[in-house]
Amino acid sequence: MSTLTMRARPGHDASLRPLPWRRMAWVTWRQHRAALAGVAVFLGGLAIYLWITGLQIHHSYATACHPASSLTCTMNFTGRYGITANVVRSFLQSVPALIGAFAGAPVLARELETGTFRFAWTQGIGRYRWTLGKLVPLAVTLAAAAWAFSELFSWYLRPFTAAGYAIPFSTLDFDLRGVAFPAWTLASFALGTLAGVLIRRAVPAIAAALAAYTGLALATALFLRQRYMTPLLTSKPGLPGSAWIVSQWYTKNGKFAFPAQASQMVSAASRLCHGRIVDVPQCLARHGYLQWDSYQPGSRFWPFQWIEGGWLLALSVLLIAATMWLVRRRAT
């Protein structure tokens, strides 16, 4: 039986002098420098694009949007760059998933798949040290790179926010800014490493990590995020443009009438105003219907950022802890 294929015996590495953490970090760099270089090229290319186009966008906003509500701003700024910005924002939603899956899933899965982890465990590197020595430096590096990228994206998006084209809680923007983007990148990396240990094959682990991340991101955007803090309630018209409207409905005589959905509003207004509709809300108001708005104010952007970043960090720690437990229990 060769050194590469023999089973690691419990306690076998206890007689060897533990490998220093500095040496382990160097080994991790040597093993995964190609993946880190790929992430650097990927984020670097996106950063260059955001920087070049961001300069053009900032210049266009400075010359066309004074005031931001003018027709010139609408035609020469939002009309010119709005579609491109939406494409960029939609594409960037996949960045944490891609980084976490392709940089996270193969970290442990490749060695478990080929069996080379057994050799590492006979060279003074125990299971815990082997796992921590790989995961922690990579996780910190990826989170730091993601934080720098989120700062660049926030700068790129600033003219659209000032023009009212992008609100703070937009599903295309919120998790790409502030602490949310590095937190999502870290969570995606942790999901990838756990999938790698569970499946022990790199390619299926990548697919599983992408699927798990997509499910978590959709559940957060559609159901969880709006419940971080209790929404405010108002019946006054004219909510600020930065507000995130969670739900709207109509009441009459203090009782619920119907949701404020376009089809139901138009149907009710047609019935009440005999088809002569100029302003649907005005028609409903004349007949005693009162519109209510449940919303999150734009001033809650940073509290929401810290809440989301906090639970994603906690989730990442739990996933990495579960990965270490599985390495100790199953990777033999």
Mention every residue, 6+ apart, whose C-beta is less than 8 A from residue 9: none
How do residues 71-113 score in pLDDT, each as one tens digit? 777 777 877 888 888 899 999 999 999 988 888 888 888 777 7
Please compute the mean of the pLDDT values over residues 199-220 and round it to a whole number. 93
Question: Across the chain, what does the average pLDDT equal?
Answer: 82
Q: Which has the closest alpha carbon to 58: 81, 89, 84, 92?
A: 81
What predicted TM-score, i.e. pTM, was given to this entire model?
0.82
Query: How far does CA 159 lie from the centroid of its chain?
Result: 22
Helix intervals (H) in 65-179? 71-73, 79-92, 95-114, 117-121, 127-162
Give all strands of the β-sheet with 289-296 in edge-to-edge order: 232-234, 289-296, 244-252, 255-259
How do residues 265-320 score in pLDDT, each as one tens digit? 777 777 777 666 567 777 778 778 888 899 999 899 999 999 999 999 999 999 99
Please compute the mean of the pLDDT values over residues 139-148 and round it to a whole number. 91
Cα torsion 101, 105, 110, 113: sign: negative
Measured distance CA(55)–CA(313) in Å, rounded? 33
| Residue 92 Cα distances to 185, 224, 251, angstroms | 12, 21, 40
What is the three-class DSSP state of 294? strand
DSSP class per residue in 231-250:
PEEE--S---TT-EEEEEEE
Residue 13 has a pLDDT of 43
Where does the pLDDT of residue 188 fall: very low under 50, low under 70, confident under 90, or very high at 90 and above? Answer: very high
State yes or no: cis peptide before 67, omega within 30 of 0: yes
Query: How far does CA 36 lie from the centroid of its chain?
Result: 20
Q: Which has the closest alpha carbon to 187: 214, 213, 222?
A: 213
Q: Which has the closest alpha carbon to 129: 22, 33, 31?
A: 22
Contact assessment for residue 328 and residue 198, using Cβ atoms and an 8 Å cutoff: no
Measured distance CA(8)–CA(214) in Å, rounded? 36
Query: If residue 197 lies in a helix (H) or strand (E), which one and from where to where?
Result: helix 180-199
Measured distance CA(83)–CA(88) in Å, rounded? 9
257: number of Cβ within 10 Å: 17
DSSP 166: S
The encoded tokens of residue 56 equal: 């053009």
Name which of 17-26, 27-36, 74-83, 289-298 the model is least confident about: 17-26
